[in-house]
Amino acid sequence: MTDTHTTHDALEDPRNADIKIYVNGDLVHRDDAKVSVYDSGFMLGDGMWEGLRLYDGQWAFFEEHMDRFFNSCKSVSLDVGMDEAAILEALSATAAANGMTTDVHCRLMLTRGVKVKPFQHPSLSQSGPTLVIIMEHSKPVNSLQSAGIRLATVPQVRGLPMSQDAKYNSHSKLNCVIACLQAEQAGADEGLMLDPHGFVNTTNACNFFIVRRGEVWTSTGDYCMNGVTRQKVIDLCKADGIPVLEKNYSLYEAYGADEAFLTGTFGAQTPVAMIDGKPIGTSDRPIMTRIQTLYKRAIADYVAAKSG
Ligand SMILES: Cc1ncc(COP(=O)(O)O)c(C=O)c1O
């Protein structure tokens, strides 16, 4: 069996065995952090979440994450029950309870809450939402930067927005999980997903970019997660004079790319070594490396501005 990587491979950190989890205002040891089997998140995947990272005491690009989170919740009539400032307070309390200040990954999850009967109708959730915050000490493994990720194109596609819009960061990620399983069964680490027209779209857990002849390309954005990191990369390229295009392109152009990389809050930019068994470029990745430098600087600037 080949050595499998995921884009979320993190260094082992024994401190994570004793973290405290935020559950509806309480901070409890991870072994005691529980939600009801009647919770709509457990029963139906009826909830929204955000992945955030803490750098030197600041949640990077907090405003963009909250914009997406509140927009998603509003779109499915999920009343957050608190404002952005209260969410930030809950994050700060969780970080403080764990003595965490940097290199921390957070999964902030809100579901429609506990149901009075085990059925689908949202009105059965009558006691308010469930808010859970998991924070772990987390550093992406360095080996991913040299080895890169292996992608396999999968049969599972990103759907049209009138089925389950890919912009919902919903608890239910079954579409993505199926894609990930298909990639794993094809001997790859992550699934490269096409859109309903057959154009290259995104992976099951990250946004996808290629570099061709000095230009950075990514999908139009119509069928993928509106990734905070994706948008940062586009903005940073524009500001630094790197040609960047959001366009339709096919596997033909992806296979022939000089570089390819994934973006996401956890791994920032992760190189792609192979697509469908075809090597992509060389281990020299000058444009991605330049973008990584710009991204690190953007985070440092953000942290400095927030720290006053
Ligand atoms: C399917 C999918 N694509 C991309 C991303 C990356 O988004 P971001 O850059 O906001 O972390 C995520 C993260 O939640 C995701 O679930």
Residue-wise pLDDT tens for the chain (308 aa)? 346 677 788 888 899 999 999 999 999 999 999 999 999 999 999 999 999 999 999 999 999 999 999 999 999 999 999 999 999 999 999 999 999 999 999 999 999 999 999 999 999 999 999 999 999 999 888 888 889 999 999 999 999 999 999 999 999 999 999 999 999 999 999 999 999 999 999 999 999 999 999 999 999 999 999 999 999 999 999 999 999 999 999 999 999 999 999 999 999 999 999 999 999 998 899 999 999 999 999 999 999 999 98
Decide if 6 is inside a domain: no
pLDDT score, position 146: 87
Q: Which atom of ligand 1 is nearest to the CA of 65?
A: 10
Q: Are residues 119 and 82 part of one domain?
A: yes
What CA–CA distance (Å, rounded) separates 301 from 296?
9
What CA–CA distance (Å, rounded) separates 149 from 146?
9
Lining ligand 1 with CB less than 6 A are 51, 169, 176, 202, 205-207, 225, 227-230, 263-265
Residue type, 46: D
- Of 99, 119, 137, the domain-final residue: 137
Q: Are residues 278 and 147 part of one domain?
A: yes
| Spacing of C-alpha 275 from chain mean position | 20
Q: Which domain holds residue 215?
A: 143-303
Hey, which of 59, 105, 225 would you mutate to test ligand 1's pocket, going by the most ligand atoms within 8 Å of its Cβ? 225
CB 236 within 8 A of CB 291: yes
Within 10 A of 65 (CB to CB), how many other CB atoms are there? 22
Q: Are residues 212 and 109 part of one domain?
A: no
Q: Are residues 217 and 284 part of one domain?
A: yes
Q: Are residues 296 and 147 part of one domain?
A: yes
Q: Is the pTM of this model over 0.75?
A: yes
Ligand 1 centroid to residue 117 C-alpha, Å = 32
Ligand 1 centroid to residue 207 C-alpha, Å = 7
Q: Are residues 170 and 37 part of one domain?
A: no
pLDDT score, position 3: 63
Q: Give nearest CA residue, ligand 1 atom 15.
A: 205
Ligand 1 centroid to residue 263 C-alpha, Å = 8
What CA–CA distance (Å, rounded) separates 267 from 274?
18
Decide if 5 is inside a domain: no
CATH number at residue 297: 3.20.10.10
Q: Which of 294, 266, 265 is nearest to 141 (CA)?
A: 266
Report the domain count for the chain.
2
